[in-house]
Structure 1
């Protein structure tokens, strides 16, 4: 049977899978690689260790003789460049997108480009320092011109992984279209600052995310995708009716592929952005640090009530508790965007709650109050009728029931599938390896009534 190899490179976990033609995982491998540091001592990905693990896995996959390995593709975290020379060797560490950005250099950049507000709206990129990957190129050019001169290509991480097999440089629209400061969303082309800084020739040719290059043994190699865009692909393929996807993890990212309204500066300030999905269409998205907040508050609750840290996993939605809490405590239901800056639960006095279950229900009420505002930012003025939730919160009955109640005009579903971003990368190059039609049961749905 035909199979496709997928490498899913996260900041923490590196995973490799073989999918058969029915999109079932038939082989897997995962590793956590220790970080190294850059020249300033800031933690970063060990690019050599990553390369070695990848090539070792690739050889193992080719030995799985029960499957006919037809293709390979990549889904990786974004905002990360590998600068390669003429021989294809990295010239710098794989700088961390969390490393602090020099304020003076940032101010110089924006003052040359009509200021933060005008530039951010044009590029659909909130001002995020190193998380705007184009700013990393600008920094390299200004701080290290000798190294910059040796750069043949600046490759985002998914395209570097592909390069290791093809020795060909490509640029993928999902990588350059995600808060990079590189893409002009008004004109749907590179922003002119890139040409002015003589960076254009160091960006490899743009190719479709559905393209593949044939290497030895007739294996098709995809050019790779940004993981957020990749995780959206199964939904775009499986559902025609307008929807939003809440992808929940450390961040809860609300993605709306059916909102083509231009971003406003106010939306950008509230952590909205646009990225490009694999067919090049804009997706409006909002971010909320809700998974991280949930983790912090769960630790506080466990300590205060002297219970296990993961006790919340056993707390089921209780409508009576919700009714009681709404009568007893102030709830945040105005929909003011100020709520996005700080979770109301931070100001709650835990001694006022009778028990752990009651306090945890209030935490979820406060997180949902924030989520309503964040999600409405991207649902506004669009024809969306369905909300899909995947990731950690999709398994939380309190979160799901409160979300369904908050959006009574929507159909709200908990969605689950194995490895969404890996599945998306496999689907993107379906025609290069799979002889079967794409089935419509890749995603399991559970409907929540309001």
Structure 2
């Protein structure tokens, strides 16, 4: 590798504070507030974080903090694809050997990929642009979120002579396509790899050679101290279920609607907080079931509204079919609200059945209906006790400053 990266030799570790570059495929994004919390927590601990993203959020952001983050982020797609031509030419002329190796790697990764060769060629161009930006910065390390296209770019940037990199693996998109996203190759080249749950770490271990297992570090997504309730709020006068998340197939909204209709409780209402590609289908199912007066879809909402809705709910329900470890469950428990969710992925690492919530098999409509009825019939005193346990559990496992400190130590080479 051509040693042109000016900040420090590639073998050196960044200092405990120092400057770290973050790369995300889409930032800021309504459903990625956990990345924003992580960045801000690192900065509270003295780390300077440079924000880079492939593209921004297409719709209006719902949170003022995200608006501020947008202004602090540089976008690889800024100026369109034509703007990438000059960085590619400059990189090839200045560092032809490194450019050839990175281009060959991009072609190799495309052969059995979930994305086509043209995608990988564009990512090579992104890497050329990012490597030039980083060369002019003080960043000594590059961290990517999601082991997908953003980490492909981080890997290619490293081949072009950029800084050492790491990345965070979040969930099923990566685990379902370990080879399609060339994760073994990218893990081998990384300094370390973060997983957000023991489940994700174990799934990666299935595909990696044992010598790379020590690179896998557990760092949970975190919540700021201000998000935690001092005590569980009183239940609302009218029983209310709340489901927060993108309206997509894997979140299980259609299963939830069927279970909700089966409950036959006229006073019960359901709030679906979020938006997404299945909204029209879900709205149609609500009309077909005659639930228009009892089910409401909010659209995208900000952090303050999330907190308000959690406090106004009786039970949080997350009937996911596929997950990593949903941040909404952390938020719900942190507000003292027990949750009903599914026995998948990292969810049982947070939801203790009968203690901080209830777990059901994914896709089991009848089981979900029975469990929701059990949760709704639970005495208020017991729900309050479960809420207090949930607050303590999330503070222990998912406090943003604690988890950011683990990352800072990893960036510094001290281990988590």
TM-score (norm 2): 0.35
Higher relative helix content: 2
TM-score (norm 1): 0.33
Higher relative strand content: 1
